[in-house]
């Protein structure tokens, strides 16, 4: 009886401190995949492909409110005491009306390529965290109608992850998104284009080739930004692992949050003239994009060494003007 009582008590504590929550459309009741879940303290997480995320009061004891959002929906604010097993997001009519709809380019086309830049210097790499996003601009080729058919994504599998000449296994889910170009040259605040998630593992090539023909991304006359964002580690099945995305370290002045970094690394380069890469912390500073330079972080070793840009490449289908 005592054993049964202890098991019952343990189960009740577990249920009370951790729960799986599904994000769904309030009308269709369909899951909202990879919804953003902000904790309001500079950190957060993502729902998986089925709209499910896990929240544990034990893992996040100082979080009292969640902010759940996704493209085409109003942001929902939920105090933790009101958190239920299902979160319903309401479609935002104003956002749905402005989703980019481009006429598909048809006919003959030429292939043009933007060469990716990769290297093997661990210290000259961006460390992916779920609260960061990096974007580079893609232009129309010589002003001609242009569609992005592939992205070439440079990655680095660091030597420290090798064991007896073999790479330790891992699987990370990344997402690519596209943003319009604002008048000041920055990416727009919100993406109104279709996005795509993909897996990178220890077996991936140094240049990860991502086919985007199904998205039919037509480059506007002002250009478009392509961004890369890590969502977290994945199970062998490809499902997102619900795990804590940061550590809390107790200091004399309180707790300091240290974001979890994910493999692979993203090599930045000093071979591109100018400053053309934008970054943002999606759970901080109202998701404001910033040019990756001294104003963003004067102490950054990447910035100080001139590695200001991410050398993403692309394959473009270039059509003749009619």
DSSP 220: P
CA 185 to chain CA mean position, Å: 21
Q: pTM of whole model > 0.75?
A: yes
Domain boundaries, the chain: 2-97, 109-319
By mean pLDDT, which of 1-15, 108-122, 241-255 is the weakest? 1-15
H runs (alpha helix) in 98-219: none
Which homologous superfamily is 2-97 in? Carboxypeptidase-like, regulatory domain (2.60.40.1120)
What confidence tens digit (pLDDT) does each residue in 86-114 have? Answer: 999 999 865 544 455 566 788 999 999 99
CA 174 to chain CA mean position, Å: 6
What confidence tens digit (pLDDT) does each residue in 149-186 have? Answer: 999 999 998 765 555 566 688 999 999 999 999 999 99
**Nearest alpha-carbon partner for 188 in 292, 101, 287:** 287
By mean pLDDT, which of 21-25, 94-98, 117-121, 248-252 is the weakest? 94-98
Q: Reduce the secondary structure of 241-298 to three states and give it as a string.
A: CCCCCEEEEEECCEEEEEECCCCCEEEEECCCCCCCEEEEECCCHHHCCEECCCCCCC
């Amino acid at each position: 009886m005592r054993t049964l009582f202890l098991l019952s008590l343990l189960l009740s504590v577990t249920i009370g401190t951790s729960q799986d929550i599904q994000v769904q459309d309030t009308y269709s009741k369909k899951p909202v995949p990879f919804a953003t879940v902000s904790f309001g303290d500079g950190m957060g997480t993502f729902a998986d492909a089925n709209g499910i995320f896990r929240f544990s009061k034990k893992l996040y004891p100082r979080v009292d409110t969640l902010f759940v959002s996704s493209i085409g929906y109003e942001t929902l604010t939920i105090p933790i005491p009101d958190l239920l097993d299902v979160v319903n997001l309401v479609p935002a009519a104003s956002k749905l009306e402005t989703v980019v709809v481009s006429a598909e380019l048809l006919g003959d086309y030429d292939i043009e390529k933007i060469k990716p830049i990769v290297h093997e210097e661990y210290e000259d790499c961006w460390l992916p965290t779920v609260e960061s996003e990096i974007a580079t601009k893609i232009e129309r080729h010589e002003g001609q109608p242009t569609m992005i058919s592939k992205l070439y994504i440079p990655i680095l599998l660091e030597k420290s992850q090798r064991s007896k000449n073999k790479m330790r296994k891992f699987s990370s889910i990344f997402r690519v998104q596209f943003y319009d170009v604002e008048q000041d040259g920055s990416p727009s605040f919100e993406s109104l284009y279709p996005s795509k998630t993909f897996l990178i593992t220890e077996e991936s090539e140094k240049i990860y080739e991502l086919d985007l023909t199904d998205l039919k991304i037509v480059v506007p006359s002002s250009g478009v930004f392509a961004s890369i964002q890590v969502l977290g580690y994945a199970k062998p099945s490809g499902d997102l692992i619900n795990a804590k995305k940061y550590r809390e370290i107790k200091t004399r002045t309180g707790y300091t949050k240290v974001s979890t970094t994910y493999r692979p690394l993203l090599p930045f380069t000093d071979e591109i003239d100018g400053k053309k890469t934008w970054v943002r912390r999606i759970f901080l500073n109202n998701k404001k994009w910033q040019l990756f330079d001294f104003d963003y972080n004067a102490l950054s070793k990447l910035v100080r060494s001139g590695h200001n840009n991410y050398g993403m490449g692309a394959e473009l289908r270039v059509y003749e003007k009619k």
